[in-house]
């Protein structure tokens, strides 16, 4: 149903459009100001991948870029990764995020040899919470004021899965 591949520079326009759609960005803190800024972000991800810091992917559905996802490796605990994803609002409700998490798990546990994956989300983000539960992640709790955005602090729910 979906394909994950490393982002290409030509994906910058699609990512820019998706991330600048207000419905898609409510829970996403880094919004590109331009297609050029998104291209720079894609280039930086290559460095992070080469240095085992982050693995980012374009989400392809029916031949079209419909979002992005990735695994960030915690450097202090290099056996733990955090999953993140964003989906074009026009493609929500197709089960794409649920499938993305399954694919990222295969990469994390089988290729990167991680032993723990986390999904953190705003407590109001019921769609992401549903994705975590569908993929059998365990709710570990509420992280108070765990995220800083625009000089404000926000809570996060923490879900995790281990092998």
Residue 130 lies in a domain: no
Domain that holds residue 90: 2-117
The whole-angstrom separation of Cα 75 and Cα 66 is 29
Residue 154 lies in a domain: no
Residue 127 lies in a domain: no
Which CATH number belongs to the domain containing residue 105 in this structure?
3.40.630.30
Residue 34 lies in a domain: yes
Residue 144 lies in a domain: no
User: Would you call 153 helix, strand, or coil by DSSP?
Assistant: strand
Residue 93 lies in a domain: yes
Residue 123 lies in a domain: no
The domain tally of the chain equals 1
Q: Report the alpha-carbon angle 41-47-53, nearest 5.
A: 100
Tens of pLDDT, residues 52-88: 889 999 999 999 999 999 999 998 999 999 999 999 9
Tens of pLDDT, residues 34-55: 888 888 888 888 888 888 889 9
47 bridge partner residues:
none
Spatial strand order in the sheet of 64-73: 2-5, 54-61, 64-73, 80-87, 116-121, 152-162, 138-149
Residue 39 lies in a domain: yes
User: What does DSSP say about strands 80-87 and 116-121: parallel, antiparallel, or unpaired?
Assistant: parallel
Q: How confident is the model at residue 28 (pLDDT cuts 50, 70, 90)?
A: low
Q: What is the pLDDT of residue 32?
A: 76
Q: How confident is the model at residue 25 (pLDDT cuts 50, 70, 90)?
A: low
The whole-angstrom separation of Cα 32 and Cα 38 is 6
């Amino acid at each position: 149903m979906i394909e994950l591949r490393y982002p290409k520079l030509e994906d910058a326009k699609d990512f820019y459009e998706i991330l600048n759609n207000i419905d898609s960005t409510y829970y996403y803190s880094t919004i590109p100001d331009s297609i050029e800024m998104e291209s720079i972000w894609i280039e930086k991800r290559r460095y992070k991948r080469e240095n085992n810091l982050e693995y980012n992917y374009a989400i392809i559905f029916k031949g079209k870029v419909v979002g992005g996802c990735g695994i960030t490796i915690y450097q202090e605990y290099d056996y733990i990764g955090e999953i993140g994803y964003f989906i074009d609002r026009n493609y929500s409700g197709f089960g794409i995020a649920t499938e993305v998490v399954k694919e990222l798990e295969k990469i994390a546990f089988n290729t990167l040899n991680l032993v723990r994956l986390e999904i953190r989300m705003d407590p109001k983000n019921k769609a992401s919470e549903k994705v975590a539960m569908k993929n059998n992640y365990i709710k570990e709790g509420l992280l108070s004021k765990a995220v800083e955005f625009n000089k404000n602090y926000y809570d996060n729910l923490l879900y995790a899965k281990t092998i």
